[in-house]
Amino acid sequence: MDFNFTEEQQLLADTVRRFLREHYTFEARRGILKSPQGWSREVWNELAGLGLTALNVPEGYGGLNAGPVDTMLVMNALGEALVVEPYLAAAVLTPALLTHLNDDEAASELLPSIASGERIVIVAHQEPKTRGELDHVTTRAQTTADGYVLDGYKNVVMHAGAADELLVTARTGGKTDEAEGISLFRVDPAAAGVTIKAYRTLDGQSAADIEFANLRLPATSRIGAEGKAFAAIEAAHGIALSALCAEAVGIMKAVNATTLEYTRSRKQFGQPIARFQVLQHRMADMFLHSEQAVSMSYLAAIKCTEPEAAERQRALSAAKVVIGQAGRFIAQQSIQLHGGMGMTDELMVSHYFKRLTAIDLSLGDVDFHTQRFIALTHPG
Amino acid sequence: MDLKYTAEELIFRDQVRRFLAEKLPRDISEKVAGGHAIRAEDYTRWQKILHEHGWGAPSWPKQFGGAAWGPVQLHIYDEEAAAAGAPRTIPFGLKMVAPVIMAFGSPAQQQRFLPRILSGDDWWCQGYSEPGAGSDLASLKTRAERRTDDEMGDHYLVNGQKTWNTLGQYADWIFCLVRTDPHAPKQQQGISFLLIDMKSPGITVRPIITLDGAHEVNEIWFENVKVPVANRVGEENKGWTYAKFLLGHERANIAGVGASKRELKRLKNIARSEIKNGRPLLADPLFAARVAQVEIDLMALEITNLRALAAEAQRHAPGPEASVLKIKGTEIQQTLSELMMYAVGPYALPFQRESSDEGDLRSLVGPEYAAPLAATYCNYRKVTIYGGSNEIQRNIISQMILGL
């Protein structure tokens, strides 16, 4: 039993944190959010320069193969600074998917440029009428003489607008909710037959709905075995879920600190409002929630690579439930304790609030994961 | 970072499992597993078995006959013992007064008291709370005045009232906080720590019957009780220091994760047997969600507890983070008792109280597992009140951790 981080891990966390403190201030972030694309390639290149885009790429493909605990520490720091660049999507989910796909050719082609930060590859998997389940795929890839024709619709694909390339899931067989029959395709977002409707999400990040209409793809665009992509999709989403939990924990700690600071400086009735016991106990509860969230983020990091699927998923669902609930409580109370100031766009706290809210709604919310937990705990 | 036990710890766990399988009396473990009342003699019988095996005082140092286990071993033992249905350790002797006697008592006190605590020969109880001194313990009023006479020599004359005394009806000894200097500038400064023989003339134990109908706590009256000065631990008027030291030790295993895991299992067994809309209650979506919530909270608490444990093993005694464990641990205990009661529905209503003195009262109506549930639910309101109420724990968090 060991909850220590190695010296290298400490150093990594410190480096990321220092970089963000210096270069990713509230004002700098605000500038990025106001830009048309809503994220900064410059910042992305700097993150790549720190080695962060290589973290989840295996060594054989130019990466650092660092693992979920390192990723957790990085995500803590990115959460604290509310980084809007597509780290989770492009530097965690995508490399995890490519690593689990058992397609050496695709991995050799894509992973080195992902590791170096040159290429941003985004997974387009989620569809309407899903809220966390991963096997619901209606997008179809029909076999033709020289390849495939893709038709379907993907929704709220985070950072699709930033993609140099998309990895799209589509059915080459099986029924709508079957794990079997899902394949993965490399798609050029600029190709005819791809319509990207980009927008911002409530937390200021970029996302898009994507329509594929009669999109013609060569046979070589399929990566991994036909109809067998689900295991890799599931494994990669587990790793991404762990990273998302860690991002939430970074935010929770930061928003708790911000709230504490604010109540110490804000005076009413002739004294700092932090003197009032009703607020002290609220902040004690916020601390309790964040401690439980830290614990479950650790569990998620440890279990997200567990080979036994039911054990892995059960732990990840439990983690997402705790993090979703803790995030909601902390987010709501942080605004409440900031009073009117919490309602403004001017302070970090409202931005923390929105990101924590978005995190609960991403990769399955509290209800979804509670149900999955129940199904895995009491099968049959 | 990992959650695995070392090879040595796994060997230790197997030893504990084997011991429990061989030595824990079946009649006791059945009572614990069914949530039934445990008698004083059951606790003592189990303590004597542990003592014979050399495990009578797992946390004590070897020089006093303890097993000198570290925090991780203690945790493993607590988990395994709870799962096997061992009765909880009655803390007053082993975990509360003994560490104080070891740290601050005289060699004579150590020789006199510690072996009999270890062997289970002496039952200790706690004289801390008073009618006017609960969370504000330092405002206690029980008076101890220095006297000398031919019969007793140097002694204290103790007058006052203690309350919420747990299981004092069985006690041979009570450790008491008393006021020896009513004029001290701060109320914490005039307090001393006395060890008092419960057979002393002038002591009256009056039962307090709690809302579950049980006799678990008492009022204790002291009327001109003579206590030899030799029974004072440490220095006069320094008792508050020892009291705080004791409260720090009260926090070991404060999360109660092992016992809550066992209770969760019991809850699920009940909810599998109960039927709603023609299927097991555990398959009812609303009820299943409630059970899942407490199970998930308990998973998180388990890791939080392990984190505190790892920190303790690495460098120091439990710190203020123990307050987190107390709050979450007791909330979970209450939720489990609540869900179990609601699981049996109308059969929670026939009030089939058990008394630890009367022995087991098997259910008159309804399933056997239903009998103790309502009483336990009522009784468990105590857990967020005792050992520093959860509101006091929040004060500790906001002062000691958040720095407010």
**pLDDT reported for residue B356:** 46
| Helices A348-361/A230-265 angle, 10° precision | 150
DSSP strand E in B39-118: where?
none
Domain B251-401 has CATH 1.20.1260.10: no
B285 to A21, A371, B279: CA distances (angstroms): 46, 9, 11
- Taking only the tens place, the pLDDT of each residue in B60-71 is 999 999 999 988
**Chain A residue closest to B71 (CA)?**
A1
Q: Taking Cα atoms as reference points, which of B297, B287, B326, B402 lies closest to residue A325?
A: B297
Query: Does residue B46 have a pLDDT over 90?
Result: yes
Cα distance between the two ends of chain A: 33
Share of chain B above pLDDT 70, in %: 95
Residue type, A209: D
Q: Taking Cα atoms as reference points, which of A55, A80, A189 lies closest to residue A124?
A: A189
**Residues in CB range of A333: below 8 A, 6 or more apart:** A259, A282, A285, A286
**Residues in CB range of B79: below 8 A, 6 or more apart:** B257, B258, B261
Supply the DSSP symbol for A184.
E
**Chain B residue closest to A279 (CA)?**
B398
Q: Which two tokens stand for residue A319?
A: 């983690």
Whether A259 and A337 have beta carbons less than 8 Å apart is answered as yes
> Which three-class secondary structure state does DSSP give residue B379?
helix
Measured CB to CB, residues of chain A less than 8 Å from chain B are 1-5, 69, 260, 264, 274-275, 277, 280-281, 283-285, 287-288, 291-296, 298-299, 301-302, 315, 318, 321-322, 370-371, 373-374, 377-378
Please indicate whether, in this complex, the C-beta atoms of A277 and B395 are within 8 angstroms of each other: yes
Query: Does residue B360 have a pLDDT over 70?
Result: no
**Chain A residue closest to B73 (CA)?**
A1
Whether A274 and A260 have beta carbons less than 8 Å apart is answered as yes
Distance between CA B261 and CA B267 in Å, rounded? Answer: 10
Distance between CA B306 and CA B151 in Å, rounded? Answer: 53
Which helix (DSSP H) or strand (DSSP E) does residue B216 occupy? strand B215-228
CB count, 10 Å around CB of B111?
Answer: 11
CB count, 10 Å around CB of B290?
Answer: 18
Task: Please enumerate, as own/partner, the contacts of B127-133 that have beta carbons within 8 Å and a separation of 24 or more.
Answer: B127/B162, B127/B165, B127/B174, B127/B175, B127/B176, B127/B177, B127/B196, B127/B220, B128/B162, B128/B176, B128/B177, B128/B243, B129/B162, B129/B163, B129/B164, B129/B165, B130/B160, B130/B161, B130/B162, B130/B163, B131/B161, B131/B163
Please indicate whether, in this complex, the C-beta atoms of A374 and B307 are within 8 angstroms of each other: no
Q: What is the CA radius of gyration of chain B?
A: 22
Distance of CA A115 to the CA centre of its chain: 17
Phi/psi of residue A291, nearest 5 degrees: -65, -45
Angle at the Cα of B234 from the Cα atoms of B231 and B236, rounded to 5 degrees: 85
Please indicate whether, in this complex, the C-beta atoms of B304 and A287 are within 8 angstroms of each other: no
Please name every residue paired with A150 in a beta bridge, in sequence order, or none if there are none: A141, A215
Mean pLDDT over each residue of chain A, to the nearest integer:
97
Contacting residues of A for B331, CB less than 8 Å apart: none
The minimum CA-CA distance between A294 and chain B, rounded to whole Å, is 8
Please name every residue paired with B125 in a beta bridge, in sequence order, or none if there are none: B174
Contacting residues of B for A321, CB less than 8 Å apart: 292-293, 296
- Taking only the tens place, the pLDDT of each residue in A91-148 is 999 999 999 999 999 999 999 999 999 999 999 999 999 999 999 999 999 999 999 9
Distance of CA A167 to the CA centre of its chain: 16
Distance of CA A80 to the CA centre of its chain: 14
Q: Which two tokens stand for residue A69?
A: 């605990």
**pLDDT reported for residue A379:** 84
Q: Which two tokens stand for residue A341?
A: 């100031």
Contacting residues of A for B282, CB less than 8 Å apart: 378
Query: Is B328 at the interface with chain A, CB within 8 A?
Result: yes
Please name every residue paired with B218 in a beta bridge, in sequence order, or none if there are none: B165, B207
Of B295, B310, B321, nearest to A2 by CB-CB distance is B310
**Which residue intervals of A64-217 are DSSP H helices?**
68-80, 94-100, 104-115
* Mutation target among B13, B267, B303 for the A interface, most CBs of A within 10 A: B303
For B194-219, give one letter per residue: b (16+ CB within 10 A) or e: bbbbbebeebebeeeebebebebbbb
Contacting residues of A for B75, CB less than 8 Å apart: none
Whether B268 and B282 have beta carbons less than 8 Å apart is answered as yes
Q: Taking Cα atoms as reference points, which of B29, B241, B38, B222 lies closest to residue B130?
A: B222
Please name every residue paired with B176 in a beta bridge, in sequence order, or none if there are none: B127, B194
**pLDDT reported for residue B132:** 94
CATH fold of B124-237, please?
Answer: Butyryl-CoA Dehydrogenase, subunit A; domain 2 (2.40.110)
Query: Does residue A274 have a pLDDT over 80?
Result: yes
pLDDT band at B365 (very low <50, low <70, confident <90, very high): confident
pTM: 0.95
Please indicate whether, in this complex, the C-beta atoms of A373 and B307 are within 8 angstroms of each other: no
Give ipTM to 2 decimals.
0.96
3-state helix/strand/coil string of B321-376: CHHHHHHHHHHHHHHHHHHHHHHCHHHHCCCCCCECCCECCCCCCCCHHHCCHHHH
Supply the DSSP symbol for B283.
G
Contacting residues of A for B6, CB less than 8 Å apart: 1
- Taking only the tens place, the pLDDT of each residue in B157-203 is 999 999 999 999 999 999 999 999 999 999 999 999 999 999 999 99
pLDDT band at B246 (very low <50, low <70, confident <90, very high): confident
Whether A276 and B390 have beta carbons less than 8 Å apart is answered as no
Please indicate whether, in this complex, the C-beta atoms of B398 and A280 are within 8 angstroms of each other: yes
**pLDDT reported for residue A200:** 97
Q: What are the structural domains, with CATH classification, of chain A?
A: 7-119 (1.10.540.10), 122-227 (2.40.110.10), 231-377 (1.20.140.10)
Whether A314 and A374 have beta carbons less than 8 Å apart is answered as no
Distance between CA B371 and CA B36 in Å, rounded? Answer: 9
**pLDDT reported for residue A15:** 97
**pLDDT reported for residue B357:** 47
B269 to B260, B281, B329, B364: CA distances (angstroms): 14, 10, 21, 20
Query: Does residue A364 have a pLDDT over 90?
Result: yes
Angle at the Cα of B336 from the Cα atoms of B333 and B337, rounded to 5 degrees: 85
- Taking only the tens place, the pLDDT of each residue in A143-178 is 999 999 999 999 999 999 999 999 999 999 999 999
Distance between CA A367 and CA A132 in Å, rounded? Answer: 10
Cα distance between the two ends of chain B: 32
Query: Does residue A309 have a pLDDT over 70?
Result: yes
> Which three-class secondary structure state does DSSP give residue B131?
coil
What average pLDDT score do residues A220-226 get?
Answer: 98
The minimum CA-CA distance between B132 and chain A, rounded to whole Å, is 22
- Domain chopping of chain B, boundaries: 7-89, 124-237, 251-401
**Chain A residue closest to B284 (CA)?**
A374
